[in-house]
Amino acid sequence: MQIDPALQSHATNYKLLTNLVVPRPIAWITSQSAEGVVNLAPFSFFNAVGANPVYLVVSVGLNDAGGLKDTARNIQTSGEFVVNMVTEDLFDAMNLSAADFPAGMSELAIAGLHTAPSIHITPPRLAEAQVSMECKLHQTQSLGANTLIIGEVVMFHVADQLVGERFHIEGFAPIGRLGSPSVYCRTTDRFDVPRISYAQWLKAAKDGK
């Protein structure tokens, strides 16, 4: 089947996109308003886009009233935010924090969560998260009804038990987002396949393997 997005509604295109580009990691973002209120919200239009410097990208849609969500407004105002990663033990709290609470109301207390101080920025990280990344705003760009946010990671917080020799991460199993509106996946079923070089491929081809 061929589906032309130009001939579909925004809702249909959203459904197709979020059910086909999967799985997606979840950025559980803590940000802080000018009044000092800490906001917590999850976003699955999220990924890593650079390692030198270390950049993350998050896309934040508009709220139901057509305005900026608290997260986008806070980041544009303060230039700082924290991406906390969601593991299965935090799933219920993450799901609750996605509710449309009134502006100025912090989701942390409602979800029974706590903050811990950041090192290089003002907004705190989520104390319960195994992994948090402090970010300084690099750039924002308007993409239709979304605000694209590029943040530079200035500090990693990783639970001690996850860090092995030479910074190898072991036992970290974040939740992923699958289909819209409410399908998720675990990342505990894995397989490891080394990347093959051209020389290895050429040798195998000559050997007839």
User: In the structure, what pLDDT confidence band is assigned to residue 209 with cuts at 50, 70 and 90?
Assistant: low
- Is 90 exceeded by the pLDDT of residue 113? yes
Give the Cα separation of 117 and 197 in Å (integer): 44
Could you read off the pLDDT of 29-45 as tens digits, one per residue?
999 999 999 999 999 99
pLDDT at 55: 98
Residue 173 to residue 198: CA distance in whole angstroms = 32
**How many other C-beta atoms lie within 10 A of the C-beta of residue 25?**
19
pLDDT level of residue 106 (50, 70, 90 thresholds) = confident
| Arithmetic mean of pLDDT, 121-135 | 98
Asked whether residue 104 carries a pLDDT value surpassing 90, the answer given is: no
Cα of 54 vs its chain's centroid, Å: 14
pLDDT score recorded for residue 105:
79
Interval 148-189: pLDDT, tens? 999 999 999 999 999 999 999 999 999 999 987 789 999 999
Give the start-to-end residue ranges of the domains of the chain.
Answer: 5-206
Return the pLDDT at 207.
Answer: 86
The DSSP secondary-structure symbol of 86 reads P
Burial class (CB in 10 A: 0-12, 13-18, 19+), 179: middle
Please state, in angstroms and rounded to a whole number, the distance separating the CA atoms of residues 63 and 77: 17
- The percent of residues in the chain predicted with pLDDT above 90, rounded, is 88
Q: Residue 134: pLDDT above 70? A: yes
- Exposed, middle or buried: residue 79 (CB in 10 Å: 0-12, 13-18, 19+)? middle
Reference 25, options 182, 176, 183; nearest CA is: 176
Chain centroid offset of residue 193 CA: 25
Q: Is the predicted pLDDT of residue 208 greater than 80, yes or no?
A: no
Specify the CATH superfamily of domain 5-206.
Answer: Electron Transport, Fmn-binding Protein; Chain A (2.30.110.10)
- What distance in Å separates the CA atoms of residue 24 and residue 179, rounded to the nearest whole number? 10
